[in-house]
Amino acid sequence: MSIKLIGSAAREMDREVVRQAAAAVLFYFRYEQKRTSVTVAEFAAALERVLRGLGFKVHVAGAVPVKPEPATTTAAPSVAEASLSEIAAAADKGFELAFFHRLRFELEHALTRSPKLIRFTGLRSCVKQLAGARRWCPRCRRLNDQIVDFLRQCLAHGGDTKCALVVN
């Protein structure tokens, strides 16, 4: 549905980024706003705001036009990046327990720099590495969702942070 709302701009964007942005919007409405339903216009406006915050120039169909925020600086927004595959490799024999400990450490370390965006890359290869799988399987899907949920929860408990989280 998110891809259809974005329209032609979706061709220029990574579908996984759009999927994660839509999931973040749903997470926001459900857990932070404690809402069980939203209108398409509300969802579209929130999705547009998130994608614009990530630096994309999009207009989401059905969204109320969003006024651009005044630029306070010409510098590019700060981005903190980390590789999930490298974190998994560093966890080595500690498997998932050590992985999640290191992942929390990496997120907390990134937050100390007050970035506008935190990006974790290599999710698919990380999951397969931790699951010991050559091909994607139901266990991989569960672990994938567990990692994304863990990062969202850590970010939510991280205090008053005003940054976006991208996991791909």
Tens of each residue's pLDDT in the chain, 168 residues:
555 556 555 566 677 777 888 888 888 888 777 888 888 778 878 877 877 777 777 776 655 554 444 444 444 458 888 999 888 888 766 677 788 988 998 898 888 888 888 899 999 999 999 888 899 999 999 999 999 999 999 888 876 567 888 898
CB burial readout 74-98, b (16+ within 10 A) else e: eeeeebbebbbbebbeebeeeeeee
CA angle 128, 134, 137 (to 5 degrees): 70
Residue 1: the pLDDT is 58
Q: What is the pLDDT of residue 132?
A: 87
What pLDDT is attached to residue 49?
80
| Beta-bridge mates of residue 165 | 118
Q: What is the number of other CB atoms lying within 10 angstroms of the CB of residue 109?
A: 11
Q: How many CB atoms lie within 10 A of CB 117?
A: 17
The domain spans of the chain are 2-53, 79-167
Q: What per-residue confidence (pLDDT) applies to 8?
A: 54
